Structure formats: C-alpha cells, structure tokens
Structure 1
Amino acid sequence: MTPTRRALLAGSAATAALPLAAPALVRAQPAGDVVRIGVLTDLNGPYRDVTGPTSVACVRQAVEEFTAANPSIRVEVIAADHQNKPDVGVNTVRQWLDQRGVDVVTDVGNSAIALGINPVCVERDRVHLNASAATSELTGRACTPNTVHWSYDTWCFANTSGAGLTRMGGDTWYFVTADYAFGHAIQRDTTRAVETAGGRVLGASVYPFPSTTDFSAFLLQARASRAKVLGLAMAGDDLVNCVKQAQEFGLPRGGMKLAAIIGSVTGVLAAGMNTMQGMFISETFYWDQDERTRAFTKRVQTKLPAGVFPNYVHAGNYSGVLHYLKVVKELGVGAAKASGRAAVAAMKRMPTDDDAYGQGRVREDGRKIHPAHLYEVKRPEESRYQGDVYKVSMTIPAEQAFRPVAEGGCPLVRS
C-alpha cells in the first residue's frame, strides 16, 4: 500500500519531463498578452519530492482549470531548478523577468533564495507568489507589496507543533537543526512557542547542510538530554534519514516523541509508515481532509505517477496560482502584467476559495491564512487505504494559526 522512496523518486522523473527554463540559454522574448508563470523549484536535490515536479504539476492543474473556463486568456508555465543555491535562484529570476517576460514567480522552496528574489520582484514590479519557503520573514520585516506567502511558514508550524505538543505533556525539547536560514528559523520560532506554552528547550545540535547523511552523533546527544520531544528542524531527505536513524537508535521506544515541525505526507510515504508511525507533523493541507481536498487530489493525480499524493506545498502552488489568475481576469491581462504590485493588492482584496485550501483571505502583510493541523502518523494496521496516514491531534483556526499581523514588523502594516 505504501510506495517505497525509490519508487517515488523513479516515478517523479516522469513528471519532470516538462518544459524547463535553461537560464544560460534564454533569449529575450516580448511579453505580449500571454501570462507567464515561472516555477522556481528543486528538481534534483533534497527537496525534489517535497516541492519539485509535483509543484509544477499542481501549477499546471490550476492553469488548466482556469483556462478551460477562460479560453481567451493565454497562460504559459516554465520551470527551473534553483539547485538550492541563492545565486542560481536570483540569477534565474532576473533572466526570467528581463528576458522571458515572466509575470509571477511561484514555489521557491528555499528561504535564502526567497529572501534574495524579493527585491528583484519589487524592482521589476512582478509577483513573488511563494508557496514553499518556510521563513516567516517574508511577511515580517522582509515583506513587500509584490509578495504573497501561501501554504505555511515557520511561525505557523512552530506554533502548531511547539505549543500543541507542550500542552499535550511534551514540555522538554531538544532540537536537531539544519545549519541555514530555514533550520534556524524553525528552531527559533518553535522555541518561542514551547516557552510561551510553559515548556523548556534543553539543547540543540546543528548539522551542516546539505552535506550530512549521518545523524548518529546528534541523536545520541538528543537521547542524553532526556528531553521528551525531539524537534526536527529540517525537511526533505534530511528528515527521512534522521527519522530512520532515530528509530534505529530507539528514541521513540525510550519515550521520546518525534516532531517533524516541517514534515509532510510526502516524507511519510517515502519513509513508510513502519518508520514514521507515532510521529507528529504540522500541515495546513492533507489530501484526505474533506471532500474538496479529495476532489482536487483526484484531478491532479492524473498528472502524477501512481502512489504520489500532493502535500501542502504542492496544494499551495495550485491554490495561489488559481487565485492569481482570478485576479488577472478581474483586472484584465494588460493591467495585471503591467504591475505586479496592483495584482497583489487585488489578491488581498479578493477572498480566496478553491478545493485545496477552501475559503480564506490574504492579509495586508501578504500572509495567506487558513487553519493549521497537528497530525499523528497512524500505525500501519490503522491505515485503511493508500495514502491514509494521518489522524488529527489538534486543529488551529485560521485567525490563530499564523503570527498576529501586528507582531511581524511588516512595513506595509499600518500601526
């Protein structure tokens, strides 16, 4: 019932056969009346399964549905691999905006790259529609009138996992943290949530990213701390590898809860429920949450290899792009292409509604808000069908799931 990681990776390769931007070879093209969407993602690295080809497929799903209802509006999708390198990501976006006529950049699953392209999109007055970078600074001090942050952020998931598990009795924590902006932001925000809820952080181990595959030394330090919760401030392949090794070292058998603060159904399916059972994971979308999420998943799975289910990042790309295209229709193609700032302002005015995230809104700081959930991974014998991996431990309402708008320091927010 559960596909292996090898199968997921092999299957995803089929989805990768999509038209991709080749940054070194692009030639200047007139923008014309075509809306161009650039998916900047990880096509070959540690976050390929978490973002990558499935993000591209979900963007294409949104475009397909929109253009079927609005055939007079032409939309093109291109994609490129940022290689998890800020210079590659920023240079790709510069070339897209200057030479390919790209109007909106989406996905961008790397916090350092997201922060790097923010001023570029402001400079060129284009839309930065971020569905997968974790840093909450995108709606804090780094917020811009051209940026919308979809899906999740570190504050949201840290609050859901940190406060939730602390209130459930997990009041002492130890972190294993990826040594870059993403990991440090998770640890910082989760520490705040844990301490606010009355818990304590007993220590942390920081590992070099992306060169580590052996987490044994860090896990031994975590076990020695006698903390009740191990907070995993990482994602993608690192998360899967670390959880497998934590199971081998017997941390869960010794009573330590594992919290994948930025985890996903993708990682659960890749590692297998035998490995991930009992783990707590924060998510804002689960394919099996309700009738609408199941309907969206059924449609997009026609573009995916067998056994692949969309996660909250993939769903955020679908949801965000669909909302942007609704604004294009309202403003007119010319006006939307002329000013990304005007398009984002309209995205904030217009309520959101789609099958992935349901009804919601975009706040003045660019934060898309919706409920967040703390899930526990089921035991294999509890799973009833393929993809049935979660049971809900807690749901945080939309207005409480994200950092209060007045606390972020976004210069767009009126005091």
Structure 2
Amino acid sequence: MRKRAWLRAAVAVVGLCQIAPAWAQLSGDKLKVGVLTDQSSIYSDIAGKGSAVAAKLAIEDFGKTVLGRPIELVVADHQAKVDVGASVAREMFGRDGVDAIIDITHSAVSLAVQEVARDANRIVLHVGSAHADLYGSACSPNGALWLYDTYTLANGMSRALVGEGADTWFFVTADYAFGHSMQAQMTRIVGELGGKVLGSVRHPISSSDFSSYLLQAQASGAKVIGLANAAGDTANAIKQAGEFGITQGGQKLAALIFYIQTAKAIGPERGQGLQFLTGYYWDRDAASRNFAKRFQAEMGGAMPSQIQAGTYSATLHYLRSVAAAGTDDAGAVMKAMRASPVNDFFAEGAMLRADGRLMKDLFLAEMKKPSEVKGPWDLLTIVRRLPAAEIIRPIDQGGCKLVQK
C-alpha cells in the first residue's frame, strides 16, 4: 500500500512539473506591457492616449492573460524630452517591472531608451520613431523598428518625385534627431538620382510661425520644398505655405512624414493632391475598418493614426511571441518574434529581420479633392503598395553589428 501511495505521489509531482512552466517562466506575477509615448506635447494626437488604447485593444484580443498570468498595461509620458524619456524607461523597467516598452514616437528618445533597454535586458519596440540608426549602428538584440524610418521614407518619396522631374530641393527641417536624419537621407538619395539640394533651414519643434523659413525656401527657386518635420509642424507649414502662394507659384510641397490627423487639420481645400507614405489607412480594407471602428468607440470618434495601428500590431505580436517562447525572457521572446510572421490588419506576413527591422510594406497615399470627400475622415486615396524589399535599407548596409558579414 505504501509503495502504491508513493507511486501515486510521484506521478502527481511529475504532472505538476509538466504544467509548472506555464506559471514558472514569467519573472513576476503578471506580464507587464509598457507604452511610453508623448502624452502631452506635439505628438500626443498621433500617438499619446491613442497608442495606449491601441495596446489595450491588442491585449483584449489576445485574451488578457498569457502563460496563466494576467497582462497589465503600464502607460507613461516622456514629454518629448530625451532625459525624461530615459529616466522614465529606467523606472518602468526597474521599479514597475515592465517587460517590454512599445511605441515612443520620438527618435531621440528612442535612441536613448534603446540603450536603457539593452542595459536592463528588456525589450523595446519602436513604432512612431523613425531614426534609421535604430536598426543600424545603434541596433540592439532586444530592439525592433515596427513602422517607418528615415531611409525608407526618403527612398520612397525621393524616387517618386525625382522620377517626375522634381530634381531641385530645399528642406524645412525640424531641429532634432528625426529631422536631421530625414534631411540627410533625402539629400543622399536625391543626389544619387541626379537631383540637387539648393539649401535648407532648421526650425524648433512646435513652431507657430514658419514665414521666414518658407520665404527662404520660396526664394531658393527649388522645385520641391521638403518638409522634414511632423504632426503640428507639418500642418502649420502647409497652411502658411498656402498663404504665401507657394504651390500656386509652381513649387511642390513634399510631406516627408504625414498622418491622417494632420490631413484632417489641414483639410482637403489646402491638402488636395498632397502625396505621402503611410503604413495604415482606416478605409483600406475590411480589417482596417473593423479596427478603426473599435478604436473610435474608445477615442470619442477619432480615427487611428498609422502609429496607433502599429502599436496594436507590435503589442499583439509581442504577446503571441511570449506565449510561443513560454517565457518573458527577452532573448527567447525576440527569437520567437523573428521566427513567426506578423499577421494582422497592419502587417500581413511581415518578418522581423536580424537587425530588428520589420519588413513592413508602406502605401503611397494622396489627399482627396473636396468634391471626392464623403465624410469627416474620408480624406485619402491609396495609390499603390510599396513592397518593403524595394524601399527598406538592405540589411548589409546599415552597420548593425548583429548582422553577420
């Protein structure tokens, strides 16, 4: 009898050991997903609360638990300041026990947080940040770039416009890491295509008066005025360019990074015909419309930006990868993230490269004419799809030390 009892106990212990990893492989009593983004400054409309809502929807769609433990969303504001962002990231990883930080939407903050995450051995998934060094010289085994980058945007836009004869450029550039990188990439590619940059001027973030910058651009005689800025700065520059009659005088405006919120702020009267690259548009297909409908319900009618849609995608793929890896260990999760394609409305079948770049297609979009608009957010037409392999920097050209030569 004693022998049978011992055998039954042994079998029970073995059974517990077999199911224990579902509980034992998380480092805490829950998985903590962090959204670190601009909640209070220039990028709050295109990221901000909407990025947190997008991550929340992804957690709900995944099922709210992973490996038998609850998933908690931790949201923080970096205030568009590098020192604040790095400090908050340390607190999120250390004090709060966050396993992964997602979004950021500020290139300089992303570069700083990438190093914080590297030191903490935690994961960071950059969505709205665009500095190409994030998967180049500053690449990290625990970092990924999910949406666009300066090389990709510059490559796609310059080839489209220079190919149409727009071969002289002047840049109005935001004076921070994203703007500098975008201008440098565009200058290089325009030159390679036989074009010429006639000049440039830098402006501080959140500028309200672009008159002096636009007058310099107008006086240059350049065929294209490239706006190497984003969000409210782009909107203000386009509005004021209309006041100076710049496009009426024959010069073309090129928005190097653009969002549905900016299109709505400008309106079809001023923005009609403006072309730009985007990773998501709410009316592209049924799946995109379904996400937009749910997002609107949470956001009081606002449509999701490409950043907010990308935050959903990055969050969902991260959670799927934690489940596949059976652990929240950063190295194991990143391996799982690279092993399986991303499959959602944002990125169908996209793979994550060894350097941390998601091979995500982009779309060439054009703002509709006023006569074509049928609703408040019916602002864009998708012109064509641009395959990732044609516009994203080749893996052997970025200088990432993770890539074997």
Structure 2-normalised TM-score? 0.90
Distance 1:41 1:364, change over 3 A: same
- Cα distance in 2 between the residues matched to 1:69 and 1:144: 28
8 Å contact 1:50–1:313 — kept in the other structure?
Answer: yes
8 Å contact 1:31–1:102 — kept in the other structure?
Answer: no
State the 1:40 CA deviation.
0.8
The amino acid of 2:88's aligned partner reads T
Q: Does 1:193 align with 2:183?
A: no
Aligned residue number for residue 20 of structure 1: none
Deviations 1:191-244 (A, max 9, x none): 22222232221111111234x311101101111111111110001211111111
Picking from 377, 383, 389, the partner of 2:367 is 377
Q: Does 1:292 align with 2:282?
A: no
Aligned residue number for residue 214 of structure 2: 219
Aligned residue number for residue 255 of structure 1: 250
State the 1:71 CA deviation.
9.0
Aligned residue number for residue 77 of structure 1: 73
Q: Does 1:396 align with 2:396?
A: no
Q: Which ranges of structure 2 fall in alignment gaps of 5 or more residues?
A: 1-25
8 Å contact 1:37–1:78 — kept in the other structure?
Answer: yes
The amino acid of 1:252's aligned partner reads T
State the 1:384 CA deviation.
2.6
Q: Which ranges of structure 1 fall in alignment gaps of 5 or more residues?
A: 1-29
State the 1:264 CA deviation.
1.0
- Cα distance in 2 between the residues matched to 1:147 and 1:209: 26
Identity %: 40
Q: Secondary structure at the match of 1:222?
A: helix
The amino acid of 2:283's aligned partner reads D
Deviations 1:18-45 (A, max 9, x none): xxxxxxxxxxxx9623111111111111
The amino acid of 2:44's aligned partner reads R
Distance 1:169 1:384, change over 3 A: farther
State the 1:405 CA deviation.
0.7
Aligned residue number for residue 269 of structure 2: 274
- Structure 1 stretches of 4+ with a deviation exceeding 4 A read 68-71
State the 1:67 CA deviation.
1.3
Matches within 5 A, 1:90-101: 90-101=86-97
Aligned residue number for residue 153 of structure 2: 157
Picking from 328, 344, 349, the partner of 1:359 is 349
Q: Does 1:405 align with 2:395?
A: yes
> What is the aligned length?
380
Deviations 1:376-405 (A, max 9, x none): 211111113332212234432121121111
Q: Secondary structure at the match of 1:250?
A: coil
Which structure would you say has the larger Rg?
Answer: 2
Picking from 312, 315, 318, the partner of 1:318 is 312
The amino acid of 1:411's aligned partner reads K
- Cα distance in 1 between the residues matched to 2:146 and 2:174: 23
Aligned residue number for residue 175 of structure 1: 171
8 Å contact 1:160–1:373 — kept in the other structure?
Answer: no
8 Å contact 1:67–1:74 — kept in the other structure?
Answer: no
The amino acid of 1:355's aligned partner reads F
Aligned residue number for residue 19 of structure 1: none
